[in-house]
Amino acid sequence: MSELAEPSQVAAGEPRVLSFSGNMTLARIRSITRDVDVQPGERLIVDLSEVDRMDTVGAWFIHRLRRDHEVELTGASQEQLDLLDTVAAAADRPAKLRPDAPPPFSRVIAMIGEAVLQAGRTLLGLLGFFGALLITTGEIIMRPRKLRWHAVVQRLEIVGVHALGIIGLMSFLVGIVIAQQGAVQLRQFGAEFYTINLVSRISFRELGVLMTAIMVAGRSGSAFAAQLGSMKLAEEVDAMRTIGVSPMEALVFPRVMATVLAMPLLAFYASIMAIFGGMMLAWAQLDITPITFIQRAREATPVNDLFICLIKAPVFGIIIAVSGCFQGMQVRNNNEEVGFRTTAAVVQAIFLVIVLDAFFAVFFSSIGWI
């Protein structure tokens, strides 16, 4: 079956006959356009009598021939003529199919400018969001009945209890690594015993809380952003506002509160697990018995180290939860934004946690908690 029958002999000045046959459909349009080779301004007789099926694409093709050439149409059924009319009515409008794109040079400039503005806006927005959260907190302190305990407990279970396994395992392994690496270095001074000091102090002061913060940011900060983002897209947040429920109070505060409560507990637990990991390694490789390890660790670790852990943890919790909720609330327009904001929430939270951790380190050593 050929789409295009052989063109008839063309006498000079006579119109050329194009007879189509078979299907004129989307599936064939490529070969049809390839086979039909007409010169601009050529006079044509288009014969459709052999066409079995014609869809809108076929009709559009004929319409285009008629638009661009002098065409006499023969052999078309009434049905085909109707279809041609329908397509002709819709085709050739000055349709706009792509959003306007600025020229490349100004686009680069615009992108840089946009990024700077965006960074500024994010910072301002984050501050504003934090302020709104403080106001809500104030209101809840004034009227404690506004606190949604149920939501807090529910979040606490997900953020805290469900994270125990992974955080415990991770801290245990990190404890082993620190003890092993520490022992290798300290052995050079014959001070292997100080591995205990190293593990127990670094776990409380830095590692426990930092690893926990990173894990919670990855697990819960991202979840907050995705949850609030999808709710925002489905206009659930707007619906909530309309009903008179403040999203800050119902969505954000319970999440922040749960994270703030969970972080110190998790950080303490992570520290203990890291020390436990170090203890196992010391027992297996350095022949330090657990009893000795614990005694020595208690002597070596001042209680201030624990305080440092417990002070940093809730602050990091606030950062993680606020970043997650803030980014989630920024979602608009489309689903891709949810993914983008979720990533942004995690990156922002971890970045801020590490910056703040550096400040804390300087601060605590300058007040003499060394």
Partner 1 sequence: MAEADLAKAADPVGEPDDDIVICVRDLKNCFGEQVVHEGLDLDVRRGEILGVVGGSGTGKSVLMRSIIGLQTPVEGEIKVFGTSMIGKDETEARNIRRRWGVLFQAAALFSTLTVAENVQLPIREYFPGLDQDMMDEIAAYKIAMSGLADDAGAKYPAELSGGMKKRAGVSRALALDPDLLFLDEPTAGLDPIGAAAFDELILDLRNALHLTVFLITHDLDTLYAICDRVAVLADRKVIAVGTIDELLALDHPWIQEYFRGPRGRAVTEHSGVRRPGQ
Catalog residues that contact partner 1 under the rule CB under 8 A. 22-23, 25-31, 33, 52-53, 55-57, 60, 64, 79, 82-83, 86-87, 89-100, 332-336
Long-range contacts of 76-85 (CB under 8 A, 24+ apart): 76/48, 76/49, 77/48, 80/48, 80/51, 80/54, 83/54, 83/56, 83/59, 84/59
Q: How far is the CB of 108 from partner 1 (least distance, A)?
A: 22
Nearer to partner 1, 27 or 123 (CB): 27
Q: How far is the CB of 339 from partner 1 (least distance, A)?
A: 10
Nearer to partner 1, 107 or 162 (CB): 107
Q: How far is the CB of 214 from partner 1 (least distance, A)?
A: 30
What's 98's DSSP letter? S
Q: How far is the CB of 63 from partner 1 (least distance, A)?
A: 9
Query: Which value, to the nearest 10 degrees, does the dihedral of the CA atoms of residues 273, 275, 279, 281 take?
Result: 80
Distance CA 16, CA 47 (A): 11
Residue carrying structure tokens 């830095």:
206
Q: How far is the CB of 239 from partner 1 (least distance, A)?
A: 15
Nearer to partner 1, 242 or 334 (CB): 334
Distance CA 43, CA 175 (A): 86
Nearer to partner 1, 57 or 151 (CB): 57
Query: Which value, to the nearest 10 degrees, does the dihedral of the CA atoms of residues 122, 124, 129, 135 take?
Result: 170
Q: How far is the CB of 33 from partner 1 (least distance, A)?
A: 7
Nearer to partner 1, 89 or 184 (CB): 89
Q: How far is the CB of 336 from partner 1 (least distance, A)?
A: 5
Nearer to partner 1, 241 or 332 (CB): 332
Nearest to residue 124, comparing CAs of 359, 347, 331, 326? 326
**Tokens representing 269?**
């637990």
Nearer to partner 1, 42 or 337 (CB): 337
The burial of 52, by beta-carbon neighbours within 10 Å (0-12 exposed, 13-18 middle, 19 or more buried), is given as: exposed
The burial of 165, by beta-carbon neighbours within 10 Å (0-12 exposed, 13-18 middle, 19 or more buried), is given as: exposed
Distance CA 137, CA 152 (A): 14
Q: How many CB atoms lie within 10 A of CB 13?
A: 6
Q: At what angle do helices 195-202 and 253-285 cross, to 10 degrees?
A: 170
Q: How far is the CB of 98 from partner 1 (least distance, A)?
A: 5
Nearer to partner 1, 31 or 154 (CB): 31
Nearer to partner 1, 95 or 362 (CB): 95
At a CB cut-off of 8 Å and minimum separation 6, what does 81 contact? none
Distance CA 364, CA 344 (A): 30
Q: How far is the CB of 167 from partner 1 (least distance, A)?
A: 35
Nearer to partner 1, 259 or 330 (CB): 330
Beta-ladder partners of 74: 47
Q: How far is the CB of 83 from partner 1 (least distance, A)?
A: 6
